[in-house]
Amino acid sequence: MPSGRDNDPKQADLIRRYLEREGHAAGVVHDGRAALEEARRRMPDLLVLDWMMPRTDGLDVCRVLRRESVVPILMLTARAGEDDLLLALDLGADDYMTKPFSRRELVARIRTLLRRAGQNAGVGAGAGALDEPVFAVGSLVVDPGRFEVRVEGRLTECTPGEFRVFERLASAPGRVFTRKQILEQLHGIDRYVTTSTVDGHVMNLRRKIERDPTRPGLLLTVYGVGYKVAEVRSADEVCGGGGVSRAR
């Protein structure tokens, strides 16, 4: 059940009808406060937010809802600057599209976000998801079946986009993944997003899991190539843990 928030009523209605033709149940509101109230009341599977909305803008809606929920959020806006993209990702958005846009591409992105969140086409994160491997790097654990990241036993909240990036990297500690490979994990088709999306998610993850985000010891940059998760060998190296394991 995608839900849309847009300050252009005609465009929002076109998007709603397009989503309904694709089999989604979609609702639309036209200001930020109503968006918050409706999202809390209906608990949609996904949100499409415009940046510029009356009363409360889309960024504020994103910021508030991200503190309350892991619902996938796609920002749809005319603001096309890299700083705008990074700010939206920093506040918890999972994807970012600029206007003008292709409605087919929008639907494809929505479908992918729903699939990554385990909510598409009535297929949820059911019992089978618990059979997915659990990745442990030192005292940090990534559990795809439960959609959880734990640092020293403490649950760390991640957006769906952040989680998928970290899941990819933690699946093979020490292996370097290019930004293109990480993009494929996020959306399957790399033209849908940019490398700045990956960089934004990594920056946010470091703030959440590293002792000192300015001197990361777990999520490492391999300059000119991409990113990797360090192979932890002692309790003092990262997050007070030791060892690398992969269990089912």
pLDDT over threshold 50, residue 46: yes
What is the C-alpha separation between 144 and 205, in angstroms, rounded?
16
pLDDT over threshold 60, residue 241: no
Position 232 scores a pLDDT of: 61
Structure tokens at 34: 């109503």
pLDDT over threshold 50, residue 53: yes
> Which residue type, as a one-letter code, is found at position 73?
I
What is the C-alpha separation between 58 and 122, in angstroms, rounded?
28
Q: Which residue has the tokens 């292709």?
A: 102
Position 191 scores a pLDDT of: 45
Position 219 scores a pLDDT of: 92
pLDDT over threshold 80, residue 229: yes
- pLDDT bin (cut points 50, 70, 90) of residue 215 is very high
- If one compares 159 and 215, the residue with the highest pLDDT of the two is 215
pLDDT over threshold 60, residue 33: yes
Helix or strand or coil: residue 194?
coil
For residues 100-107, average pLDDT: 82
Measured on CA atoms in the order 144, 210, 58, 112, is the torsion positive or negative? negative
For residues 25-54, average pLDDT: 84
Lowest model confidence (mean pLDDT) among 32-41, 75-84, 113-122: 113-122
Helix or strand or coil: residue 83?
helix
Position 238 scores a pLDDT of: 43
| pLDDT over 90 percentage in the chain | 8
- If one compares 223 and 163, the residue with the highest pLDDT of the two is 223
Structure tokens at 237: 């190296």
For residues 45-73, average pLDDT: 85
Position 118 scores a pLDDT of: 67
User: CB neighbours of 16 closer than 8 A, spacing ≥ 6?
Assistant: 4, 26, 27, 28
